[in-house]
Each structure stands twice: as structure tokens, then as C-alpha cells.
Chains A and B, each alone.
Chain A
Amino acid sequence: MAHIGSSVQGQHSVSRVREALLARYRGLEHGFDAAFGSALNPLRHLGALGFLLFWLLAVSGIYLYAVLDTSASGAYASIDQMSREQWYLGGWLRSVHRYAADAFVLVTLAHLLREWLFGHCHGFRRFSWLTGVPLLVFVLISAVGGFWLNWDQLGQFSATATAELLDALPLFATPLTRNFLSNAAVSDRLFSLFVFVHIGVPLLLVFGLWFHIQRISRAAVFPPRALTLGTLAALVALALARPVLSQAPADLAVVPQLLAFDWLLLFMHPLMYATSAGTVWLLLAGSLGLLFVLPFLPRSVAPVPMAVVDPVNCNGCRRCFDDCPFAAVTMVPHPIRSTRQMAQVDADLCASCGICVGACPSSTPFRSARDLVTGIDMPSRPIGALRRQLQERLALHRGSNRIVVFGCDRGARVDAVAAPDVVALSLMCTGMLPPSFVEYALRDGAAAVLVSGCRAGGCEFRLGQRWAQARLAGAREPHLRAAVPREAVATAWADAGDEGALHGALNELRSRLRGAAAQALPARGTAHG
């Protein structure tokens, strides 16, 4: 019992640390928002940036491979000559290749950290997490292997250190280090192995990445254009300002002396010489083991029931299929209507976000049925209950300037703006809100409606804020009808902890309503006079 108690206490401690770090990370993200805007914030596109850098590595790598003489005696000269004599293309591409590799490692680690901070390793995201962790190994091997191809002193040091690290494991009958005892020992065959490592492992990485994004729809394999251009510009400028050049050619008769060292990619080598190969293996195995175990640690958060399809109300329109951010909805033959299809939810993939409910045309509150039952619904928070709550709360509030606030459980808390003139309703995700609810609230007595959710690009369920915004703007089905007065509708995209912004948007809406009322009074007086 004492063991279980201490284990639970340990989990709480980890959770507290994570929450504290998350608050700081959110602060950093919001700081970046001030410069980039929330939708183009690079910290919200780390995965897509990783893809961009990988594509950049692939394209620049193809050219470099074409130029590389893949022999032990010719490799150094071919790369060095290209860097010096063709600095404007080959040399520049080489620099971009190296800096993109550095950036790739940084962005990948930041992506991992962000996903952990947001708790994205459990439940329906476990697959993406578990398929992502091995990619770290592939990234590291690909990155380190690149230095060997350019057979300079840095490559010599890295290859020897890697061989010594691998020899610490009982893998090879003959130590790998024997390949690096003398210059004569480095053969063309060994260089073929180098080439295989630096090209074969990235190919494995492509397959791994494909698996990694299998369970999300519309995976961003390119960041937004502005972010792409900005990142490329930064790397290109760096490559021009500080071109990467080879160090002295490898000579296995001497120890490389002072090396211009890439700490971002080769950090393991100095760590090994400062400690031991066993320590490095222990750290690597421990880190990977911990990352693999994280998704299986018990959580205090109770699981939310998944979305459920009602065949009677599902007409097979495919909107939930289109909108589901995690590809949890598939279309199958309709059991009742022979010519139609019906949505089917995969329990393993469902995030229980309710975005599919917001997409369903049957979720409109204008339906005359006493109990609103929609085509796809969340059993824990059915859309019928939302309509009932809205009706009851609006009936309770008397006054001419009642404002309905639809919020998101994951964004700024709507209960923070509770006031006599406010009907605040929180959804599992803003994407769960059918736009017709906005019109329904206005017709049922609300003077205005404020829709709130996470900042653009920061939706806990990836696409909820994006779809909500597009639906309200009439750019995505189901859309907010054009007849709805837009001056009575406002949005406030505010993250958790951003309640001040929500308050500000609400006050702005109140001012607008007061201004409209003040304008209406003289007009009414003139009409009566």
C-alpha cells in the first residue's frame, strides 16, 4: 500500500511540474503571438516545421550526394572542392543542409517537449507518441552519419567516437574501432556503409513519419507559407553569412585537435569522453524508456465517452468525416437507408472533442423535436442538453442586453466572465458548436453572441477553432446563415489563462450594444415626434 501511495504521490509531483512548465511555455507562446500572430506562431507548428526541414534536407542532400565521391580517398576532396569552387551553389547548399539538420534536431526536440507539456501522449494520441519516439533515434543516427561522409577531422572524430560507443555493447565479434586504427583500414567498402547509414536511415525516417501521422487527418506536412518563407530565409541567410567548410582532412595517425564542433548534433561524443560509453547508453536507454512508458502511466483525468452515431438522424452527409481531426470517422453503408452512407466512429481514434457534433446538420436547434437528437453526439454532453440549457438560462435572465457566451473547456474559462447579463456555456471544444446555435440564441432573446475558443493554431483538438471560425465566417459547412446580423456576433480566441482577453471582448460587445441602443433612441424619438 505504501508503495502505491508513493507511486501516486510521484505522479502528482510530475503532474505539478508539468503544469508549472506548461504555464511558462504558454507564456512563451503568447510572447511569440505578439510578433507572429497566433495562427503563424512557429511554436504552434513545430511538427510541420520539422517536416519542412526534412524536405529541405532531402532536396539539398540529393545534390550533395550527386557531387560526393563515395570513396575513402575522394570524399574529402570532392566536398571541399565543391564548397570552395562552387560556393554559390554546392557550398551554399551544403551549408543549408548542415544548418537544416541542426534546426531539425532543435525543432524535433521542441515538438516533443510541447506535446508532453500539453499531455499529448495519452489515450487517442498514444499511437502518435509511440510512433514518434523511435524517430528520435533515426534523426540522431542520420545527423551523426552525415559528418562521416565528409571525411575531415570532425568526421574522423565522430566516426571513431561512434565506433567506441557501439563497441561498448556486445554486438560485434570484431570491434568496429578496428576500422579506424589506420588510414589504410578505412576502405571504400566502409564508405559504402557510411552512405547507407546517411541515406538508408532517413528513408526509414520517411516511413516512420508516415506512420507517425497516420491517425491525424489533414496532417500539416508543410507549415503556413509565411512561416515557410521566414524559416527558409533565416537558414539561407545563415548559410550565406557563415558558410560551412571542411576542417583538415582526416588522418588516423593523429588525434584531431581543436575542432569547430557541432554541439547540437554531436553532443553525445564529448559526453561519452567526459563520462563513459556505459553512461551514455544508460542515459539514452533511460530517456527512450521513459518516453515509451509515459503514455502508460495512470492519469487522474477520467476518460470521456466517445462520439456515438444515431442511424435514424445520420443522413450520410460526410461532414463529420471531413471535419474529424483524428480520422476517427469513416463512412459505411447505412443500415436503414440503402442508398446512403452512415458515419462510424472508431473508438481507438476518437478524441471525444465533439467537433463532429458541430459539423452535423442534424444538430440544428431549430428542429421541432422536443428532445433534440442529432446524427452524431457526445453521450456525456449531448447537443440536446446544450439547447435545453440555453433555453433555460436565457429564460432566467431578464433584460434587453443579454449576451450568450459559447466557450471551450480547453480555452479561456467562460465562468470567469459570469455576470447578470451573461449566459455562459462551455463546450468540449468550440468546434462542437453548430453555428445555428448562434442564430437560435439571438432569436431566443440574446442581444449578442460571443464565441470563444483557443487561440488560432492552438486548439487542443487541432482543428476545432479553425472549423468554428470558418463556419461562422460562412466559409465551411454548416455555416452561419447570411441573414444573421454580424454586428451581433463576436469571437474571442483566447487560451486558458487568457480570461482577461475574453473579458475585454465581452466589454467591447457590451459597449457596442450600448452604442447601438443610444443610436436607436433618438431615431425612435424622431419617428414618434
Chain B
Amino acid sequence: MAESKPPLTGPSDPSGSTSSTSSTSSTSPTSSTSPASPTGPTAWIGQALLYGLFALVIGLFSSWPPYRHLAADQALIKLSFSHTGKPVSDCAAQSPEQLAKLPPNMRAPVRCPRERSPIRVEFDVDGKAALRHSAQPSGLSKDGASSVYHRVQVAAGAHRIAVRLTDDVRSAGFNHVREATVTLRPAQILVIDFDTSTQEITLK
């Protein structure tokens, strides 16, 4: 059976040897040219400087220069929702002929589509379009929630916000609309969400 390699060792053992050295002398060649281990004040100062430089680089760039993500007079609006749209079509009653073609355990009198409508959203800030987006439903059968996340950076102060949302491809126009004037403090985050329990667009 083959044997494995020698075990791990640190390099502190100068020979690093695991083999027998019992019969050997330890007489070095008389001359050795290499910057093996410089001694003296110059070497010590050099080491201190290099260790100091190492510490300086780490100490400096672990906290400097400071980073400002948002200018001091700016605020942030986050439009985010995760909402399941309405089915893409109406449920359909199955005729007796159609039901007869199905296995007995699948003969549901009414068939509803799994696929959900994409969510179409329009978001205006001060009358200007900030987002026009159609969020597709998730899942292989497109039967999951549609999600939107969008950030808009605005100046602190009062802003007129309009959010229009539709979650049903069968109807034209928007079935959820919210317009409001908000006053944002510097660095404030305004979150625009959709509350699925109340079916309302919320501003927090």
C-alpha cells in the first residue's frame, strides 16, 4: 500500500527534517554569500520601518478616506414591493365533453390559470417619470410574486410623488394609484410599498 506524504510542519525547524541525521556533523561551508539574516541597527530600523508601513497602510485604509454615500442635502426614495398579480385570464367552466377527456381525479368543473399578471408600475417624482417598469411574475409557471426595487435620490425638501400600479392584464389603466406631497429631511429614506392586506400603496 502506498504511504502518504510527510506531515505538515512549520519552518521553525531549520532542517525541517524528519529523516535521521544522527551520524552527521553540523559543519557549515566556510563561506556563505546570501543576505541570510542581516543584523545591526540598520536592519532593525529597516524592519521597524517596513512593519510600521504595513500597519500604517492597514490602519489608514481601514477607515480613511471617509465615504459619503449620499450628499448632505439629499434624501432617498425606495420603491419596493413584492406582490402577486391577478390571474392572466378568468376561470373557465369545463364542458362535460372536456371533463370526460380528463382522468377522474382531475375533473374540476372550473379551471383557473396558474399564470399571474405582470405588475406594471409608473413612478413620478415632481411630475417627472422616475420609473416605468413591468415586473414579471416569478417561478417557472409564472405563478409567483412580482418584485420591484428602485431607488431614487432626491434633494431634501417637498416633493410631489405619484405611484400608479396595475396587477391585472385584463383591465386597462391602473387599479392602484397613490399621489402625495412628502417633505423629506436630509438623509431620510422614504419607502413606498404595497400592502397586500389592505391592497394599498403605502408611504413610510
Contacts and interface: CB of A to CB of B under 8 A. Distances in A.
B24 A493 contact: no
A257 interface: yes
B17 A476 contact: yes
Contacts of B8: 213, 218-219, 221
Contacts of A30: 35
A46 interface: no
B96 interface: no
Given A37-B37, A255-B69, A330 B2 contact: yes
A217 interface: yes
A332 B2 contact: yes
Contacts of B47: 35-36, 230
B52 A181 contact: no
Contact of B19 (A241, A322, A451, A502): A322
A344 B3 CA distance: 10
A259 B62 CA distance: 11
B31 A475 contact: no
A173 B2 contact: no
B34 A455 contact: yes
Given A218-B8, A218-B9, A252-B189, A257 B14 contact: no
Interface in B62-95: 62-70, 72, 74-76, 78, 80, 82
A48 B11 contact: yes
A230 B149 CA distance: 49
Interface in A480-505: 482, 486-487, 489-494, 501-502, 504-505
Given A175-B147, A254-B188, A261-B65, A486 B16 contact: no
A470 B29 contact: no
Contacts of A474: 21, 24-27
A475 to B, nearest CB: 5
11 contacts: A30-B35, A222-B11, A259-B67, A330-B2, A331-B2, A455-B34, A455-B35, A470-B15, A491-B34, A493-B36, A494-B33
A237 interface: yes
Contacts of A491: 29, 31-34
Nearest to A483: B25
A260 B15 contact: no
Contacts of B72: 257
Given A270-B67, A491-B33, A321 B25 contact: no
Contact of B59 (A238, A486, A494): A238
Given A222-B10, A254-B187, A175 B82 contact: yes
Interface string B11-53: 1101111111101111111111111111000010011011110
Given A178-B80, A508-B33, A221 B10 contact: yes
Contacts, number: 272
A404 interface: no
B98 interface: no
Interface stretch (B103-111, B121-129, B137-145, B169-177): B137-145
Nearest to B190: A253
Q: For chain A, what secondary structure do more than half of its interface residues adopt (helix, strand, loop), or is it mixed?
A: mixed
Contact of B189 (A37, A48, A99, A253): A253
Interface residues of A, number: 103
A259 B5 contact: no
A477 B24 contact: yes
Nearest to A223: B11
B69 A259 contact: yes
Contact of B6 (A102, A177, A220, A322): A322
Nearest to B75: A255
B191 interface: yes
Contacts of B158: none
Given A36-B47, A237-B55, 15 more contacts: A33-B35, A220-B11, A221-B8, A222-B10, A231-B51, A234-B55, A255-B74, A260-B63, A261-B64, A261-B66, A264-B61, A322-B6, A474-B24, A475-B24, A476-B19
Interface centre among B12, B31, B188 (most CB of A within 10 A): B31
A267 to B, nearest CB: 9
B199 interface: no
Contacts of B52: 234
Nearest to A452: B33
B130 to A, nearest CB: 17
A252 B76 CA distance: 11
B193 interface: yes
B204 A470 contact: no
B24 A479 contact: yes
Contact of A255 (B34, B138, B187): B187
A463 interface: yes
B152 interface: no
Nearest to B13: A218
Nearest to A157: B69
A463 B10 contact: no
A383 interface: no
Contact of A475 (B15, B63, B193): B15
A103 interface: yes
